[in-house]
Amino acid sequence: MDATLGAFLLSLIAGLATGIGGILVLILGRVSDRLVCFSVGFASGVMLLVSFNNLFLEAGELITHFLLIVTFSLGVLIIGALDLILPHVELTAKDTGPKTRIYRAGLLIAVGITLHNLPEGFAVAAGYTYMPRLGLIIAVAIALHNIPEGVATAVPLSVGGMKRRKIAAVTFLSGLAEPVAALAGAFALSLVATPTAIGSSMAFAAGVMTYITADELIPVAHEYGHKHTVSVSLLLGIIFALLVDVILS
């Protein structure tokens, strides 16, 4: 399969997982704190393992150690700057204010997730360009963490009074930024398909995914109060990612 098309399809599936999280809220009405905590912790473990065991180490085979550190740090700095510049709402539904404030929080979360999906789509493109199997592993990791993000978006919108159809549309649309970024990234890498360009892109993507895990996922999981659940689910996520890596190798 063409690298651009393959990266686009994988990131499309990963992006649509955000909508799945929204649908879960609409079906179940309310998702328990412990379940959200477990899913976010599990996704954190998968993201960390994929970032270092796949993206970072594979990038180290293609570029110098110095460039590896520089491009990884660049990924961290850029996504960190994006967090500081944009209106930022933590991915948590524990807002006890008026409905209008909760509604606004849900919309801000949706905007934040949409923008965060752009570098995630690029991560899929970078991995797939290097090795289709790696692109698949990254897409699985991102899809797993997109589901709780969809839940975090849908809950405040539901409490704020948004209609069910609109909630489903918002959560699904927020994930569509991912395949767009993957398409652009894969196209750009196809024009400069050198080991240095691909390795640098993978290290950059590893920095982005590590920052999202450390700054967004793990802190949010702990906000729900089930610390042991976070620890266990994170470790299970790492083990799951290792098993997926073995199965797909």
End-to-end CA distance of the chain: 18
* pTM listed for this prediction: 0.71
Name the percent of the chain in helix, strand, coil, to the closest 5.
85, 0, 15
Q: What does the pLDDT profile of the chain (249 residues) look like in tens digits?
A: 677 888 888 889 988 888 888 888 888 776 677 877 887 788 788 888 888 888 898 889 889 999 999 999 998 998 888 777 755 444 444 444 445 555 565 566 666 667 667 777 888 888 888 888 888 888 888 888 788 778 777 776 776 677 888 888 888 888 888 888 888 888 888 787 788 888 888 898 888 888 878 887 788 778 777 788 889 989 998 998 888 778 876
Rg over CA atoms, the chain: 17
Token look-up 């849900």 returns 106
Cα–Cα dist 170/50, whole Å: 28
Which of 244, 230, 246 has the alpha carbon at shortest distance from 45?
230
Q: How far apart are CA 71 and CA 207, in angstroms?
A: 8
Residue 97: DSSP 8-state:
S
> Among candidates 58, 173, 62, 41, which has minimal Cα distance to 107?
173
Distances (CA, A) of 167 to 36, 101, 105, 148, 153: 18, 16, 13, 15, 8
**Which residues in the chain belong to E strands, given as ranges?**
none
